[in-house]
Amino acid sequence: MFTWLKSRWHRTGMTAYLTHPDCLKHDMGAGHPECPERLTAIRDQLMAARLFDFLQQVDAPEVSREELARVHAPRYIDYLESCSPEVGTFRLDPDTAMSPGTLLAARRAAGAVVHAVDLVCEGAAPNAFCAVRPPGHHAESARAMGFCFFNNVAVGVAHALAAHKLERVAIADFDVHHGNGTEDIFKDDERVLMVSTFQSPFYPYSGDVPLGANMHNVPLRAGSGGREFRDAVEHEWLPALHAFQPQMIFVSAGFDAHREDDMGSLGLTEADYEWVTRHLVQIADLYCQGRIVSVLEGGYELSALARSVVAHLRVLSDA
């Protein structure tokens, strides 16, 4: 078991909290689990917990086409623009649909991560959390799926590598679903290490066989809880992260592995999210000058989602 190591980095400043009202305008229809109320629930719980006193609130800008094109094929970007409806919805797959507000929301979501990278790399914030939707980790280079259109984390990672000249970047993904899009984009990229846990077998039915040596995927059986998750982090994630010594960490922060979330069948709690966040902060303090950009992915039971984000942000903000 890994023990806490003395930090080599002391955080100063306030955690950046990036979001935008435009992220509420993406609406895939009544009853869809990926709903605007997700962000409202998070905001309300943060207010109730008085956590906004420890956060600097930042409006998410729109992503540029150049920033998107680092990870998405230009023809795919064109395709999404051509599919954007003026009224109603346009369905890309059985789970994923565009409304008139989707494209702008997706641009804000990806733009939030790019801006968060700039804030953290330039020292304007010690770390950041992007409370954005639609999520992104299922979006492949040229395919929308699983509620995702642009791969927000991948866009941010590519920006860190290209604009800030980082040489080693890590991604930690604890969503209940495998981040197939992120793996598709960065497989065999020696500059990027990805560690992940996810329920398996489960949508999108990938990840059990990693696509590259830089992918450290840990499938968890349905019914697994905090013990199995913590074992995976301690025995798989942490050795890989220590060996890699990343210069920045991105988190695909999906909270749908919570035991109250019926999207999946794992049994995590707020305490598990707090625990894994503390370990990621410790890695960041050792190797990354504290630099973490965390990005909302899944989480569909509104109360559990909001409580989990509060637990995650208490650690990031040192509140």
Which domains, and CATH codes, for the chain? Answer: 15-317 (3.40.800.20)
* Residue 3 pLDDT class (50, 70, 90 cuts): very low
Strands, E assignment, the chain: 15-19, 55-59, 90-93, 96-98, 127-130, 169-173, 192-199, 215-220, 248-253, 292-296
Report, as residue numbers or ranges, the catalytic residues: 138
Residue 275 is predicted with a pLDDT of 98
- Determine the residue type at 139: A
Euclidean distance between CA atoms 309 and 157, whole angstroms: 22
Give the mean pLDDT of 28-40.
96
* Residue 11 pLDDT class (50, 70, 90 cuts): low
* Residue 319 pLDDT class (50, 70, 90 cuts): confident
In 10 A of CB 68, how many CB atoms?
A: 24
Contact criterion met (CB below 8 Å) for 108 and 60: yes
- Does the pTM surpass 0.75? The reply is yes
Residue pLDDT, tens place only, 158-189? 999 999 999 999 999 999 999 999 999 999 89
